[in-house]
Every structure is written in C-alpha cells, then in structure tokens.
Structure 1
Amino acid sequence: MQIKITGSGSYIPTIKVTNSDFGQHHFLNEDGSIFNMTNEVIAEKFVEITGILERRYASPDMVNSDMAFIAATKAIEKSGVDPETLDYIIFAHNYGDIKSNSIQSDTVPSLATRVKYLLQIKNPKCVAYDVLFGCPGWIEGVIQAQAFIKAGMAKKCLVIGSETLSRVVDIHDRDSMIYSDGAGATVIEATDEAGGILAHESATYSFDEAKYLFFGNSFNKEKQEDIRYIKMHGRKIYEFALLNVPKAMACCLEKSGIAITDVKKILIHQANEKMDEAIVNRFYKLYKMETPAGIMPMSIHKLGNSSVATVPTLYDLIVNNEIEGQSLNKGDVILFASVGAGMNINAIVYQM
C-alpha cells in the first residue's frame, strides 16, 4: 500500500493588488514615527528582497471557508472519489473565517465542518477538524492523513490549506505587502501504485522562537489598542529558517533513502524569494553541490505569501501546467518543505 495525492485543486482570488497599490499607504515605524523613505523606494527594496510584484485578495463577499470549498471541490473532482467516502477533512488555517471589514475571527463551527457542510456530505463518519500549525499547516495535515491511513483508520482524506491574510494585516506596517489570500486542497488516498509519501519530518522550536510571529498592535498608535494584527520579527525568522530548514529537509531526504540527485523539484513555502533561495542553496551545500537550475518553482511573484495555501497551490498549478517551464511527471521525486509560526518546520519526500 502506498499513500498518494490523487487529486488537487486551488482557488486564486480575483482581486489583484500590485505594489503600486500601496503608494498611498502611510507606513510607520513600530514606535509610530513616520518611516523615513518614500513609498516608491519601499516598493523597490521590497521587490529586491521578496520577489513579490503582486498578490491576490479575496473578494468582499468571500470568507476563508468559501475559498477552501472551491479548491476542495476541484480536488475531489480530479481524484474521482465520492465525497461520501472521505474519512477525514483536515483544514489547515490560522485565522478562521473573517468577514470583509471585520475584526472578529470566526472558528465555530470549525472551518473543516463548514467545508463538509458546503460539500453536502451526509456521512457522519467523515470526521472534520482544523489544524493550527502556522504556514506549514497543509504539509502537517498531509502527514496526519498519512498516519490515519497507515493506522487503518482511513482510506481517503481531504487536506486543505486556505487563508485570508489580507484581513489581519496592519496597513501601516511594510510587512503587510507580503501577505495574500488563497486556497489549495488535495485528496490523499491509499493506492496500489508505486511512489507516494516516502518520508516526512516535523519539528516545533518554541523555547526562544515561539513569538517570532505573533498578533500585535498597529504601528499607528491612534488605532484601537484591543485590535491585533499579524506581526513578525523578520530578521529572526530569516536567520532561523536558514539555520534549521535545510537540516530538516536533509533529514527527511535521508529517511526516504532517495539520492539528492534524484530530487526533481523542491516545493517550498512561498514566503520570501530571497529567503527561499537561501534555504535551498544551503540545503545543497550540505551535500557539497550547487543548486540545480529550475529546481525551485516559484508562485510568489504573482500570488504573494498566502501562508498554508502556498504549497498546495503551487503543486496544483504545476501539475496543471500553469507555471511556465515547470512540470511534474509520474515517478518524479518532490521535496515539500515549509516553515512558519510556532516556529514550526516540516518536510515530505514524495514520489509522483
């Protein structure tokens, strides 16, 4: 028995936001003072570091679970499974459903339950629950689905990663330019085909790192003190990721027994182009190798950082030939990897 992705789907929100759309924002320092740089220069430096030219935001009439439902529907259709035969729906997110122009997160019932309702699944033995694991949430959901299947508790699982980060950003913080919205979903099944999930690795670093990503006050001191926004210590995250993610990727690869030269693609969380490139370069340096050209497909330039949605969306775009110059074929070995709030790290070696 092998455990494989038999169908994938994604939802790319309709509202396109370019860097020039931030031209009228009033960016501030953490202490509330005016940031001493023009928005044009901010945008130039932002692109140099992150690679992000534009991002997508959910339309006002949609919430997180709506996007997830669309992605899930596509994944189910691609897999050909009867939704009533799903044993688990695992939904990775961080902030629940947040209506447009609202400050309140809604997580009751769980977003997984909401997707099950929207799918009109009647089977009560289809268990629906949410995962809060930062940006690596979708990968962790896949690892959990594999565990259920291996244990004989499931045969088919739907794993979703979806988020609306645009609704938790502080518009006075330059970091708000990184974040975006989106959804990706996959059906994970036990099959007789070769390949599938060959190894996985997960870790939580919390002794010093727990609050590298957190909810904090706006940089605008005139905003209400009881409202919180997504915040991060960018430099600390960058240094942490470069030190720890390549090691986790190497550990996962060694568990799989696959040679590094057999890895066709690395699908890494689309957080920051400069950081992702540095992570992958350090990974190959562990093997005293140069990074192969084209090994790391990127979607961040057009889609930004949509947290848990970035990896499953990237996978879905590639298998549907929607990223120029990138493809995946039967038998290809992929290394999935992510890092995010927690600080959490995980990886999967997967064979198509």
Structure 2
Amino acid sequence: MEVRKLLESSAKKYNFSTTWTVGETSDKISGLPDTILHNILSLLPTKYAIQTSILSKRWRYLWASIHCLDFDHKLFYSSVYIPLGYDAFPFLPVPETKHTNASFIEYVDTVFMLCDTSKIQRFCLSCFYYSYKSRVDTWIRVAIMCNVRELDFSIQEPYDPYVEPYDPHVDFAGISLEEPVRFPHTLFTCESLEVLKMNLKWSIIKMPTTMGFHGLKTLHLVEVAFSDDNSTKKLISSCPILEILSMEKCTLYKHQNLFVSAHKLRSLTISGCVGLKECKIMISTPILLSFKYMQTSMAQDYSLDYSSSILNVDIDFDGPDYPWWRDDDFRSDVVIDSWLSFV
C-alpha cells in the first residue's frame, strides 16, 4: 500500500489519472514512460523499489534501472515483510523475520550485481559499520567506480534486537574502542562526487595522506569526530569548489584552531559541536551568503573574514537541544556582546 500511495501521488504531479482495479492487467501508472517510473522508484528505499517487481510484467525489471540505491538495515531487519519479487529474481535472498549479518551482505551484493550500475547517481547506506566494515569498503568502492554524484553514509547504533551477536568492542554511541572509521582511499579522490554526507555516531574519521575532492560542492558532517586541527583543515581544504558546509554535533579532539577557508563557500553551518570552547575559530569565506552558528559556549577567539554582501546570519547561543552540551558557566549576555564585536 505504501508503494501504491507514492505512485499515485507521483502520477498526480504529472497530471495522470490513476485507476486501480483488481483483476485488470494494466493501469494508468504502468503506462507512464520508463524514465518517469525510474525516477519514482529512485525515491524509494531500494527494498521497496524491488518489491514493485511483483505488480505485473511491466514492472518486473524496472527497478534494475533506478539511479539511486538506498540500503537501510533497519528496514531489512524489520519483522514484517512484503515479498521481494522472488518470482522475478529467484536468486535474490528473501528476508526472514530474523537475519544474520551474512544475509544482509548477500542481499546488497546481489542487488549490485543485478542492477544497471551505469545508471547509479546516488548511493545511500545506513548500517552497523563495525559489523559490516569489510563489505562497506567494497560497496563504497563499487559506487565510486559507478561515478556516483552523491554518497550518503550513516552508522546506526551497534545493537539491534534482531542482530546477533552484539559487538563488545563498540560502545553505546557507536564509537569504536579500537580503531577509527576507515574509508577506501578512492573515496577521497573521487572526481564525480558532488555531495558527501556522513553520520559516524561520533567515530573518528581516518584521513589518508593525500586527498582531493575536486568536484565536491556539498559536505554535510553529522556526529563526526576529528582527531586534531590538521584533520579538519585537511578535509575542508581538499574541497576547492565547496559551496555548502555543515558540521552538526561533531567532536573536535585536541583542537586549538578550527580553520574554515573556502573561497567558493556560500553556506556554512556549525551546530552543537563539542570541543570549540578551547578553540580559536578562523573563518575565511569571501563570498559567503548564509552563516548559521548554534553553540552553547564561546570559543577562545574568533577571526571572521566573510563577504560584506552576506544575506543571512543566524547566531543562536541557546544552542541545539542537547542538554549534555550545556556549559554551566555560560552567560548569553557576555557571549552576545563578544559576538557583536566580530560581526
């Protein structure tokens, strides 16, 4: 029903009427051009897109040409499932009520093998990194080989009642007690990538010696931990045409300076980050149009150099609603007076 409702709403957008009658061999939505149906299916999690293959012969192979692959282990490990179109692709593993890590890996691998990888523009993956890290590396490599434009990777909580065994080397926040998150080197030199989103549950990201996101325009970092000054500076400076930078709930270990220098940057967001209290924040963005800063404490010092034609400045010293980020000695009146001297 979820798939049907989405298809009906999408058809209305293109002024197509939708008539669903039990027993009919065709419907108005099935008469839409392949390109429109591919766009509709690409808006769905891949699990649901594959399920449409059982609707009719018209739909059987449509999902294999979608331009977005979106895998979320929480959907895969749910207790209730609609058939996956097993009659269309008998070699696709059919999910059960309870899964092993191996079955999820097999599922993602099989989808990669069956779909038209030349059409993939966006790859989204949300999973237990420390349970799948050997395959996460491979999946990201494959996506990069497909010249994806957008990569969205999220680490979920390491424990789930449907997954066994629980990894004792990972704490409740998803932080590895032994090693940082390591991505393949090809990710940091990908020429086709335009949008990169990462949510690492406060795990430290390991930077390679050489890197360069020469085509990256949007970088969205959530709950990413950086080991030192050099790691943040290196990442930002490796994006020469970056236009949008967002750092939300990131942790800055051993940072004396947070240096944001991006000559093409138009939008900058710093929100709920840990470690800025002992930092000097230096911002050099000559054409910045939007600046959002949400923190509950002052940094040690500020050096702000941005465009005089900036359109939107949002400074909030109440900060995001995370009580553990609160500074007991924080005084908003002192903070505001200090900021006014910089703006």
TM-score by length of 2: 0.27
Which entry has the higher C-alpha Rg, 1 or 2?
A: 2
Higher relative contact order (CA 8 A, sep 6+): 1
TM-score by length of 1: 0.26
